[in-house]
Chain A
Amino acid sequence: MQIIVNQNPRDIRSETLGEALTELGFTSTAIATAINGRFIPRDARADVILAEGDRLEVLAPMQGG
Chain B
Amino acid sequence: MQLYGTEISSRLLLGTAQYPSPAILTQAIEASGCEIVTVSLRRETADGSGAGFWDVLRATGKHILPNTAGCHSVAEAVTTAHMAREIFGTRWIKLEIIGHADNLAPDVFALVEAARVLSEDGFQVFPYTTDDLVVGEKLLTAGCEVLMPWGAPIGSGQGLRTPDALRAMRAHFPETLLIVDAGIGRPSDAVQAMELGMDAVLLNTAVAKAGDPVGMARAMSLALDAGRAGRRADPMEPRDMAVPSTPVLGLAELG
Query: What residues of chain A have their CB less than 8 Å away from a CB belonging to chain B?
Result: 6-7, 24-34, 37-39, 41-42, 57-65
The answer to whether B43 touches A58 (Cβ under 8 A) is: yes
Q: Does B165 contact A (CB under 8 A)?
A: no
The answer to whether A63 touches B41 (Cβ under 8 A) is: no
The 9 closest A-B pairs by CB, nearest first: A60-B50, A64-B40, A65-B15, A65-B204, A32-B83, A25-B46, A60-B44, A62-B42, A61-B54
For B80, the closest partner residue in chain A by CB is A59
The answer to whether B204 touches A61 (Cβ under 8 A) is: no
The answer to whether A59 touches B16 (Cβ under 8 A) is: no
Rounded to whole angstroms, the CA-CA distance of A42 and B83 in the bound complex is 10
Q: Does B69 contact A (CB under 8 A)?
A: yes
Complex interface bits, B43-57 against A, C-beta within 8 A gives 1, otherwise 0? 110111111011001
* CB proximity of B207 to chain A, nearest CB, Å: 10
Most buried by B among A26, A58, A59, A65: A65
Rounded to whole angstroms, the CA-CA distance of A42 and B167 in the bound complex is 44
Main secondary structure of the interface of B (DSSP, over half): mixed
The answer to whether B69 touches A59 (Cβ under 8 A) is: no
Rounded to whole angstroms, the CA-CA distance of A60 and B86 in the bound complex is 11
The answer to whether A42 touches B86 (Cβ under 8 A) is: yes
The answer to whether B69 touches A60 (Cβ under 8 A) is: no
Q: Does B17 contact A (CB under 8 A)?
A: yes
The answer to whether B43 touches A32 (Cβ under 8 A) is: no
The answer to whether B15 touches A39 (Cβ under 8 A) is: no
The answer to whether A41 touches B79 (Cβ under 8 A) is: no
The answer to whether B205 touches A59 (Cβ under 8 A) is: no
The answer to whether A61 touches B205 (Cβ under 8 A) is: no
Complex interface bits, B138-168 against A, C-beta within 8 A gives 1, otherwise 0? 0000000000000000110000000000000
* CB proximity of B107 to chain A, nearest CB, Å: 18
Rounded to whole angstroms, the CA-CA distance of A64 and B154 in the bound complex is 12
> Which chain B positions have C-beta within 8 A of A29?
51
The answer to whether B83 touches A39 (Cβ under 8 A) is: yes
Partner of A64, one of B38, B46, B51: B38
The answer to whether B87 touches A32 (Cβ under 8 A) is: yes
For B68, the closest partner residue in chain A by CB is A64
Most buried by B among A7, A41, A59: A59
Rounded to whole angstroms, the CA-CA distance of A59 and B51 in the bound complex is 11
